[in-house]
Structure 1
Amino acid sequence: MCIFFTPPFEMAVVALGLNSRPARQVFGDFPGSVIWNPNTQLSEDCLYINVVAPKPRPRNAAAMVWIFGGGFYSGTATLDVYDHKTLVSEENVILVSMQYRVASLGFLFFDTSDVPGNAGLFDQLMALQWVHDNIHYFGGNPHNVTLFGESAGAVSVSIHLLSPLSRNLFSQAIMQSGSPTAPWATIDREESILRGLRLAEAVGCPHTKAEMPAVIDCLRRKNATELVNNEWGTLGICEFPFVPIIDGAILDETPQRSLAAKNFKKTNIMMGSNTEEGYYFIIYYLTELFRKEEDVYVSREEYLKAVRELNPYVNNVARQAIVFEYTDWANPDDPIGNRDALDKMVGDYHFTCNVNELAHRYAETGNNVYMYYFKHRSAGNPWPSWTGVMHGDEINYVFGEPLDPRKGYTPHEVELSRRMMRYWANFAKTGNPSKSEDGTWTATYWPVHTAYGREYLTLAINSSETGRGPRLKQYAFWKKYLPQLIAMTTPQPAPEPPACVTNSTGAALQPAWGLGHRWRWGAAAQLPLAAAVALASLLRLDGTFV
């Protein structure tokens, strides 16, 4: 049985296992949704490793270690879409996956020795140590281990690139639609504690910091299902209840600081994102507006309201800048354009721009970086056509599902899957997706992503297009312009004036910021000059947003 909240103390034997809960059943038995729901029995007996090796057993084969995603609140290594057999048999690699604790059982944090946080990451760390020590028994090379994962799995992979505890247990890394700098990837320690106390309150436990021993004792006595079912409070889009924190062990500083200081494993990485990353989360979040049907359109009024709902933590000036950035000013009332803009807004902020950031930081230090942009929508995709190529849509191509004739993929899709499996396996074997173990090269050359050129390869049927980026303009907006704008337009408390300051007439002077240091938007002179200029650029003369 998994001990609640604490790091693992013993490695489980090789077997199949499961540790997570089903995703919320917003769409019932809809095929596009249920593929992500756990397909085996839920159990607290959860820390297992799966190993699939070719026959006959290879010698010194490259090992690929898969870390599943699911927002750190759901998921399992045993989903059908992760079926290991095709990739192993086609590419002669050893494929390993592990279960790790998720949700409050894996990421509850109370800043105590009993509940130190990041238990799920320590599960992963122990699995990586096991692979390092034992993969040779399966014909694998412990000195050629590639981590790969998607979404929260990609965040996990990237955290291991940053962590001093795990960075020496593998060789290189592949990250699909995830980065440690994503806004949902980590939360600060205080917020994590508050979420834990809210969970305690929801299940009828003591719920104040002063009662922490009683809080922990009460939570330990609760049924795991009760805990998981009460985790979701009022959270925004792409906010997950319990996620990694900076614990001083797995992570000794924020990912942003690690990247800025170049404090990470220097190695080859491969990463990318999909063209419509945002829709998968929007359709679960704005369910009334984004219905599961073909005829979904968004009026200008609905667009503006959705921007407010999707960006609740920025000030009004920043929110207006977001509206401006994602509006097609040639046709601002286009209901299709407004709908698609919301997808790009969410996808850029939560996924694509953070992937770009990590790739750029790695390229700056001279590492070989390979970027992709996945653009193919499967012919049999059950979601409405406007959802495009959503979050996670590349996974079945990486694991070779199209090669199963029962799945009904087209011949072109089978070929795309073969090409992607070869890229992933080549990277695991040689560190270069274009170069095979025998020295041969793929028909399409995948360029190195440099800090100057920002090169990427398009992954789609009959496409070998390369480009710069992707979405560099939006990357600059979210990572450069918007943070500066927010800093310039966020009120700062003024220092208290001396108690008895007077003017030449002896009259007492009021503080320059007004009574109570209240920020008065009506007085433009109170804004720093640069902020006033930025604000003015967003407004009409009559003060309303363009």
Structure 2
Amino acid sequence: MWWLLVATTVAIGVRASNSNGAEDPLVVHTNKGRVQGITLQAATGKLVDAWLGIPYAQKPIGNLRFRHPRPIDKWTHILNATRPPNTCVQIIDTVFGDFPGATMWNPNTQISEDCLYLNVVVPKPRPTKAAVMLWIFGGGFYSGSATLEVYDHKTLVSEENIILVSMQYRVASLGFLYFDSPEAPGNAGLYDQLMALQWIHDNIHYFGGNPHNVTLFGESAGAVSVSLHLLSPLSRNLFSQAIMQSGSAVAPWAIISRQESTIRGLRLAEAVNCPHSKSDIPAVIECLRKVNASDLVANEWGTLGICEFPFVPIVDGTFVDDIPQRSLSSRNFKKTNILMGSNTEEGYYFIIYYLTELFRKEENVYVNREEFLQAVRELNPYVNNVARQAIVFEYTDWQNPDDPIKNRDALDKMVGDYQFTCNVNEFAHTYAESGNNVYMYLFTHRSVNNPWPSWTGVMHGDEINYIFGEPLDPAKNYQPQEIELSKRMMNFWANFAKTGNPNLQSDNTWTTTYWPLHTAFGREYITLDVNASATGGRGPRVKQCAFWKKYLPQLISSTGIHFLYLFMLTKILKIDMWNSIFIYLVTYKGNRVGTKLGIKLTRCC
């Protein structure tokens, strides 16, 4: 565990100096009280100071379950911040047993509702006004932890001389249950992040950080969170710039309607034998507060589509004050520099879990034509037949439609484009159109020690190891060129945090590899690979993204507009099952129909 690599001799030296009466440099005075830190050693041998498990909010237990976080009270003693915090309650992935490619994402600290803590890792010697990076972990808003080995903070901090902060935030129903009530207002997990961000603003200078130079960065649901902070009027002024890896707020799985969230909450209540009538929400909440937290998260999953997560953010009118697409189109967002991108095989990780019989975790997987067509149906259940045939047409290699390898890879691209890549592209393009500096990447390197079968390529999340410097650990057996790639990526990310430009070092020198600005016209991006080459032109995946973002919505709208009258009728009659009638309109930008009626029509994917 990364927090256990302690420099013992340094720790002994600190204790000795304390016995001589000198003030312990690892005791920091925050605005809530004193915290005792610890000195740790990175795999490279370099030292950092760390404060692990600093509370930033009251324990969200008892009557505070489901509610927005409350400020923590002051303490008078020296708080021990030398052990990593609890992981917020979530389900454990057991699908593939002890396979390391899956278990690496499972919690590695005690699971508890008492989990609202953060970590601060600082380089030695202690800097002054150092750039601060706040990591927001991913996990579909139903899982994840800031303490995972893959997020080991020490190497990035010690190599790039930045301060790294990470926080635990509530996930699943405990973080996102919504019942249109102060007792269950929704988006509690996002408000956890906001409170941690406020803590950084108020306290990071005590640790040598610059509160006016804070960069948010996150992956997947963490990237969605970062983009929501860019859109939110509540958090825009608490950070400087943002990095989003494989996710943005316009992803189809990022937001669900308040109506859908309420329905899912009532289904959860029924599953755990609580009252589940919409007419008596107080009784529902009162009962759900008494249910064992592990039982809650274990009963959230019903019949959901691929990348469809049970409890996710909603448009609550305060933190998320509008539909993300509308916020982007109206330029209602923080004007700043952003860096974002995706990986070449974003879809496989989710397909392996969703189509488990077809995509077995084996080295050789082939998909014949019949299996391909059936998979398209299963992966796109909410569209009509015309739209489904269009998807088949777009992702078929018509020179050889029966090629089992191309059919397999096409399914990855179909899921990856729709769920991840195209939404990253859309967010970046809108920011560039507005005159902001945008830097875009495509991560294309597959690690030699990747535990997944070779056909999975460069999967969702594979870039994280390189951002946090894992290849620099001799025990991990990375190749020399992979070590150099990791150094280059850490430097790009840290440069961006320090200067707002990945090419510009803090000493005003420039990197040897140039990362071009992503413009609305050129759509330039850099390829992050061991070859260190920069790729220009339009992209990535610009043609396929035009299919998802332009052609298919128009096709669905033109083939489904005759349902408008029935939709309005179900709205007037308040029929709860309108969702099932118009589900294929809900999935895409046929959403414009609902938007004009003042309804958020989004199906979480």
Shift of 1:208: 1.4
Residue 40 of structure 1 pairs with residue 106 of structure 2: no
Residue 486 of structure 1 pairs with residue 547 of structure 2: no
Counterpart residue type for residue 372 of structure 1 = Y
- Counterpart-to-counterpart distance in 2, 1:371 and 1:233: 36
Counterpart residue type for residue 547 of structure 2 = F
Aligned to 1:296: 365
What aligned pairs does 1:356-505 form with structure 2 within 5 A after superposition? 356-467=425-536, 468-493=538-563
Aligned to 1:5: 66
Aligned to 1:111, the other structure's residue is in SS state: strand
TM-score norm. by structure 2 comes to 0.81
Counterpart residue type for residue 425 of structure 1 = A
Q: Does the aligned pair in 1 maintain the 2:515–2:534 contact within 8 Å?
A: no
Shift of 1:491: 4.4
Query: Residues 493 and 82 (structure 1 numbering): CA distance in 2 closer, same or farther, change over 3 Å?
Result: closer
Q: Does the aligned pair in 1 maintain the 2:443–2:527 contact within 8 Å?
A: yes
Shift of 1:455: 0.2
What aligned pairs does 1:100-115 form with structure 2 within 5 A after superposition? 100-115=169-184
Aligned to 2:84: 16
Query: Residues 338 and 56 (structure 1 numbering): CA distance in 2 closer, same or farther, change over 3 Å?
Result: same
- Counterpart-to-counterpart distance in 1, 2:378 and 2:455: 21
Aligned to 1:543: none
Q: Does the aligned pair in 2 maintain the 1:20–1:75 contact within 8 Å?
A: no
Aligned to 1:70: 139
What aligned pairs does 1:178-189 form with structure 2 within 5 A after superposition? 178-189=247-258
Residues 180-239 of structure 1: CA distance to partner in whole angstroms, max 9, x if unpaired? Answer: 000000000100000000000000011110121111111001000000100101000000
Shift of 1:23: 3.7
Counterpart residue type for residue 457 of structure 1 = I
Residues 372-417 of structure 1: CA distance to partner in whole angstroms, max 9, x if unpaired? Answer: 0000000011111000000000000000000000011111111100
Aligned to 1:319, the other structure's residue is in SS state: helix
Aligned to 1:525: none
- Counterpart-to-counterpart distance in 2, 1:11 and 1:352: 39
Residue 31 (structure 1) aligned to one of 100, 113, 135: 100
Shift of 1:112: 1.0
Counterpart residue type for residue 16 of structure 1 = P
Counterpart residue type for residue 461 of structure 1 = V
Gaps of 5+ in 2: 1-58, 74-78, 567-580, 582-605
Aligned to 2:379: 310
Aligned to 1:110, the other structure's residue is in SS state: strand
Residues 35-92 of structure 1: CA distance to partner in whole angstroms, max 9, x if unpaired? Answer: 0011111111100010000111101100000000000000000000000000000000
Q: How many equivalent pairs are there?
A: 497
Shift of 1:270: 0.1
- Counterpart-to-counterpart distance in 2, 1:304 and 1:494: 29
Q: Does the aligned pair in 1 maintain the 2:133–2:215 contact within 8 Å?
A: yes
Counterpart residue type for residue 62 of structure 1 = A
- Counterpart-to-counterpart distance in 1, 2:340 and 2:108: 28
Aligned to 1:51, the other structure's residue is in SS state: strand
- Counterpart-to-counterpart distance in 1, 2:223 and 2:350: 17
Q: Does the aligned pair in 2 maintain the 1:144–1:429 contact within 8 Å?
A: yes
Residues 468-512 of structure 1: CA distance to partner in whole angstroms, max 9, x if unpaired? Answer: 21000011000011001000011425879xxxxxxxxxxxxxxxx
- Counterpart-to-counterpart distance in 1, 2:465 and 2:223: 16
Residues 398-447 of structure 1: CA distance to partner in whole angstroms, max 9, x if unpaired? Answer: 00000000011111111100000000000000000011000111111000
Query: Residues 291 and 360 (structure 1 numbering): CA distance in 2 closer, same or farther, change over 3 Å?
Result: same
Residue 260 (structure 1) aligned to one of 325, 329, 341: 329
Counterpart residue type for residue 540 of structure 2 = P
Aligned to 1:219, the other structure's residue is in SS state: helix
Gaps of 5+ in 1: 497-518, 520-546
Q: Does the aligned pair in 1 maintain the 2:366–2:405 contact within 8 Å?
A: yes
Residues 242-272 of structure 1: CA distance to partner in whole angstroms, max 9, x if unpaired? Answer: 0000001101100000000000000000000
Shift of 1:22: 4.3
Residue 131 of structure 1 pairs with residue 200 of structure 2: yes
Query: Residues 334 and 83 (structure 1 numbering): CA distance in 2 closer, same or farther, change over 3 Å?
Result: same
Shift of 1:466: 1.1
**Aligned residues with identical type, % of pairs:** 76
Aligned to 2:178, the other structure's residue is in SS state: coil
- Counterpart-to-counterpart distance in 1, 2:426 and 2:172: 27
Q: Does the aligned pair in 2 maintain the 1:22–1:75 contact within 8 Å?
A: no
Q: Does the aligned pair in 2 maintain the 1:155–1:175 contact within 8 Å?
A: yes
Q: Does the aligned pair in 2 maintain the 1:11–1:126 contact within 8 Å?
A: no
- Counterpart-to-counterpart distance in 2, 1:177 and 1:22: 23
Residue 177 of structure 1 pairs with residue 246 of structure 2: yes
Counterpart residue type for residue 446 of structure 1 = W
Residue 278 (structure 2) aligned to one of 205, 209, 228: 209
Counterpart residue type for residue 67 of structure 2 = T
- Counterpart-to-counterpart distance in 1, 2:542 and 2:461: 22
- Counterpart-to-counterpart distance in 1, 2:363 and 2:470: 26
Residue 150 of structure 1 pairs with residue 219 of structure 2: yes
Residues 353-390 of structure 1: CA distance to partner in whole angstroms, max 9, x if unpaired? Answer: 00000000000011000000000000011111000000
Residue 278 of structure 1 pairs with residue 356 of structure 2: no
Residues 94-113 of structure 1: CA distance to partner in whole angstroms, max 9, x if unpaired? Answer: 00000000000000000112
- Counterpart-to-counterpart distance in 1, 2:316 and 2:532: 44
Query: Residues 55 and 493 (structure 1 numbering): CA distance in 2 closer, same or farther, change over 3 Å?
Result: closer
Shift of 1:295: 1.3
Counterpart residue type for residue 136 of structure 1 = H
Q: Does the aligned pair in 2 maintain the 1:22–1:38 contact within 8 Å?
A: no
Query: Residues 287 and 494 (structure 1 numbering): CA distance in 2 closer, same or farther, change over 3 Å?
Result: closer
- Counterpart-to-counterpart distance in 2, 1:11 and 1:402: 38
Aligned to 1:32, the other structure's residue is in SS state: helix
Counterpart residue type for residue 56 of structure 1 = P
Q: Does the aligned pair in 1 maintain the 2:437–2:517 contact within 8 Å?
A: yes
